A and B are shown apart, each in its own frame.
Chain A
Amino acid sequence: MIHAAAPVRAKRVLPGFTLSLGTTLLYLTAIILIPVLALILKGAEIGPARFWAIVTAPRALAAFQVTITAAVIATAFNAVYGLLMAWVLVRYEFPGKRILDALMDIPFALPTAVAGLSLTALFSANGWIGQFLEPQGISIVYTIWGVALAMAFTSVPFVVRTVQPVLEDLDPAFEQAARTLGASEGAIFARVVFPQILPAWLAGCTIAFARSLGEFGAIVFIAGNLPMKTEIAALLAFIRLEEFDYQGASAIALVLLMFALILLVVSNRLQAWAMRFKGI
């Protein structure tokens, strides 16, 4: 991922500064900043009291809670599953490894709506997988677990692809030293490997979490969209828009925007930290 570390010595002799920076600023301004400003302006029209009333209304609070709870579940799952995938893909040789590696990019490439449609059908009570879960009393579709499942699907590559390169670049000397000293594999992982990949792992989890908070396409199909129970914040903003409630939509959108920006800063910090462990 991008980050601004590794300072480059200023070399104004290279051409194209004005052109490249101008193009970048123009594009960013036109495509990203002005539309985001429009949202902020609309939000500012609301006034603090009304804004507070909108975002703390029971349904809005419930939507934020559902979104965050499901994102925490999904991220916790991906923290383990993503780490496991990264470990298996870096450390072991086995048949089908390249395919398994490529499959980790599916959630990036597959349109989220398609993923949502398919996951819903698979995990519904009469679906391929759901038919085995339902008799055990486990309902996925139309519950918060379904929301979490859709989030987990769309965000797992972020953990895998952030941890993988760091794991590949680890200096094997430390592990060999520990092994020579008679440490068990578990102890080596916990004391030697994990501390080194920790920043990257946390950064990956943060991005996955941010992505989960913003996910929409996959979730609307699987969530059942029951207010107070399985309705996510992005959908509530969408519904408010359909109700002609522009203030409501803008206020909820602004809160989500703030979450996103905070997480973006956190993940950039974490990645700058992680880079210290990478051999660049």
Chain B
Amino acid sequence: MKHGLIKAAVLAASLGFAAPASAQDSILNVSYDIARELFEALNPAFIAQWKADTGRDLTIDQSHGGSSRQARAILEGLQADVVTFNQETDIDVLAEGGLLPAGWRDALPNGASPYYSLPAFLVRAGNPKNIRDWSDLAREDVAPIFPNPKTSGNARYTYLAAYAYGLEQNGGDHAKAQEFVKAILSSVPVFDTGGRAATQTFAERELGDVLVTFEAETGGIAREYAAQGFERVTPSLSLFAAFPAAVVAENADKKGATEVATAYLEWLYSPEAQDILAQNFYRVNDADIAAKYAADFPEVRLVTVDEVFGGWDAIRAEHLADGAILDQVFVNQ
């Protein structure tokens, strides 16, 4: 009797998973938390393109969550064919796990980053606390909202951008920069695990005075919650945030999806995709598209991880490792 049940279970399991996979191409894109609306807009365009180019039908499945959480899930066996992350280190982790080649940055243009963004602010209607720059986040009367820098790539950029600002304001004094970041971190009332949960906390639960998140999210949320009159604020200085993409070779090869997975990521550099990206408030490298949407993207001085911190390896060792600077300044973690 039990045997029969197990058989039935296996049968049901195989039916459930065999059905969608057979007659057409399919890829699983594992992505960061706030990219939900973006890929909802991008995927149909690529599916149409793929159909036109090859005559084949394509299904793109999406999974969204904190970038590091997603990387962990892939290491544990989530069958991602492509990753579109907001954090290079999370792809490096996959490379270390042997899921994709270490030279993934060279596989696509611009260091495998089809678009970029930067940490920016979203404030309540009329900007009642007059929040203009990073220094305002450290004020005692300001409660900033951003997710947990330990789980969210988004928040890690926020942390690093604030640190870079602190360094610059204090003539490169690391101790003072750390004090500055500590002041910001200790006034955050809630640390959600992902960027979208932080947005919910700010927009739906009405906590905090300023949401710090990628510019793309501040634009999207200002549009989504137009009735609430949130205002976008771009700080004077921010950090260039690459949004890297890579084919998860091991999974894609096994499934025979390498061709479509590669085409998908290459397509993200096409004018069509770049236009959709810009409409979703991501900054793009395509000069024509960038010019077309210039009004949506205020001037900002961008510094890079390499300039300020000497690259991601240094950041992982000096800032993110157990007991390193982030642990020291993230006192209420």
Contacts and interface: CB of A to CB of B under 8 A. Distances in A.
| A/B touching: CB–CB < 8 A | yes
A225 B148 CA distance: 11
B68 A227 contact: no
Interface string B33-70: 00000000000000000000000000000000010110
Interface string A238-263: 01011110000000000000000000
Contact of A242 (B151, B190, B201, B205): B151
A97 to B, nearest CB: 38
A142 B207 contact: yes
A225 B192 contact: yes
B292 interface: no
A125 B193 CA distance: 23
B150 A225 contact: no
Interface in A109-125: 124-125
B189 interface: yes
A62 to B, nearest CB: 9
Given A224-B190, A228-B332, A239-B193, A244 B68 contact: yes
B141 interface: no
Contact of A244 (B72, B189, B201): B72
Contacts of B72: 241-242, 244
B333 A242 contact: no
B191 interface: yes
Interface string A191-231: 00000000000000000000000000000000011111000
Given A225-B191, A227-B191, A242 B206 contact: no
Interface residues on B, range: 20 to 34
B190 A225 contact: yes
B150 A142 contact: no
Binding site secondary structure of chain B: loop
B254 interface: no
A42 interface: no
Nearest to A57: B333
B150 A23 contact: no
A269 interface: no
A59 B333 contact: yes
Nearest to A120: B205
B190 A142 contact: yes
B2 interface: yes
Interface string B310-333: 000000000000000000000011
Interface string A51-87: 0000000010000000000000000000000000000
Contacts of B151: 239, 242-243
Interface centre among A23, A59, A228, A242 (most CB of B within 10 A): A242
Interface residues on A, range: 10 to 19
Contacts of B205: 124, 141-142, 224
Nearest to A231: B191
A192 to B, nearest CB: 49
Contacts of A239: 148, 150-151, 193
A55 to B, nearest CB: 16
Contacts of A242: 66, 68-69, 72, 151, 193
Contacts of B189: 224, 226
Contacts of A59: 333
B2 A23 contact: yes
A228 B191 CA distance: 11
Contacts of A225: 190-193
B2 A226 contact: no
Nearest to B2: A23
A149 to B, nearest CB: 16
Nearest to A243: B150
Nearest to A248: B322
A227 B333 contact: yes
24 contacts: A124-B205, A125-B206, A126-B206, A141-B205, A142-B190, A142-B205, A142-B207, A224-B190, A224-B201, A224-B205, A225-B191, A225-B192, A226-B190, A226-B191, A227-B191, A227-B333, A242-B66, A242-B68, A242-B69, A242-B72, A242-B151, A242-B193, A243-B68, A244-B68
Interface of B: 2, 66, 68-69, 72, 93, 148, 150-151, 189-193, 201, 205-207, 332-333
Given A239-B148, A239-B193, 10 more contacts: A59-B333, A224-B189, A224-B205, A225-B191, A226-B191, A242-B66, A242-B68, A242-B151, A242-B193, A244-B68
